[in-house]
């Protein structure tokens, strides 16, 4: 309950509190960016950080993934885009991308694409993407039972955080997150791998790009 302040110094206290606060320094902004991106996974409902830290979404390491899939009944949901799936994928996994190629040709999007290809795309080999607005409904079509155990995975772990949070807010309650993504897996963690490359190398160079994509979403500019 709020209490009325009746004190000779009340006026000076209020004057002090109404003075503008000093702006955050650049260093503070840099230190908090990582946590901001994690919280950007959902603008409504539970945040990714809360779900992971509370254990509501279970963190499963690549070395424990086979046990989760083979002994605990988890279904592996790969949320990487098609061009990464073509390089390498776990046999039998379900594929629904959280990001899809951005085919919008508006002036602002074209400018973003120009910046991407000039400064990012040439060395990452990634397409310019946008968040898949139909992601949850596509998962629901493939797996309508929301008590199904889903292990959500991507290359580096950022996109799968976003995907798992959206699925939780969409009603799925038995969710696992592949901590660190396929990039941290070893050759024998997923013995049945299809594709021309090793699974842990199929996203090399793309992590920084998707970090940028999530940061754009956080800032409301994507």
Tell me which residues are annotated as active site: 154
Q: Are 93 and 195 contacting, i.e. CB atoms less than 8 angstroms apart? A: no
- Per-residue HEC secondary structure of 185-220 comes to CCCCCCCCEECCCCHHHCCCCCHHHHHHHHHHHHCC
Q: Are 60 and 68 contacting, i.e. CB atoms less than 8 angstroms apart? A: yes
Q: Is 6 helix (H, G, I), strand (E, B) or coil?
A: coil
Tokens for 17, please give them.
């509190």
Q: Buried (b) or exposed (e) across 4-21, using 16+ Cβ within 10 A?
A: eeeeeeeeeeeeeeeeee
Task: Tell me the C-alpha distance between 122 and 4, whole Å.
Answer: 62
């Amino acid at each position: 309950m709020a209490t009325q302040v009746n004190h000779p110094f009340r006026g000076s206290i209020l004057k002090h509190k109404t003075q503008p606060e000093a702006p955050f320094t650049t260093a503070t902004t840099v230190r908090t960016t990582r946590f901001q991106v994690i919280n950007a996974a959902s603008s409504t409902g539970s945040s990714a950080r809360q779900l992971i830290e509370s254990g509501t979404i279970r963190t499963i390491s690549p070395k424990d993934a086979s046990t989760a899939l083979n002994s605990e009944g988890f279904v592996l949901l790969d949320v990487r885009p098609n061009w990464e799936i073509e390089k390498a994928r776990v046999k039998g996994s379900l594929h629904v991308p959280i990001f899809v190629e951005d085919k919008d040709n508006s002036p602002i999007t074209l400018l973003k694409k120009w910046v991407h290809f000039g400064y990012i795309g040439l060395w990452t080999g990634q397409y310019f993407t946008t968040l898949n607005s139909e992601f949850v409904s596509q998962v629901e079509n493939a797996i309508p039972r929301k008590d199904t155990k889903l292990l959500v995975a991507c290359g580096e772990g950022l996109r799968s955080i976003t995907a798992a949070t959206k699925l939780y807010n969409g009603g799925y309650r038995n969710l696992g997150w592949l901590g660190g993504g396929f990039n941290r897996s070893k050759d024998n963690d997923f013995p049945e791998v299809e594709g021309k490359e090793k699974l842990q190398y199929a996203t090399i160079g793309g992590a920084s790009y998707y970090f940028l994509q999530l940061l754009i979403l956080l800032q409301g500019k994507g």
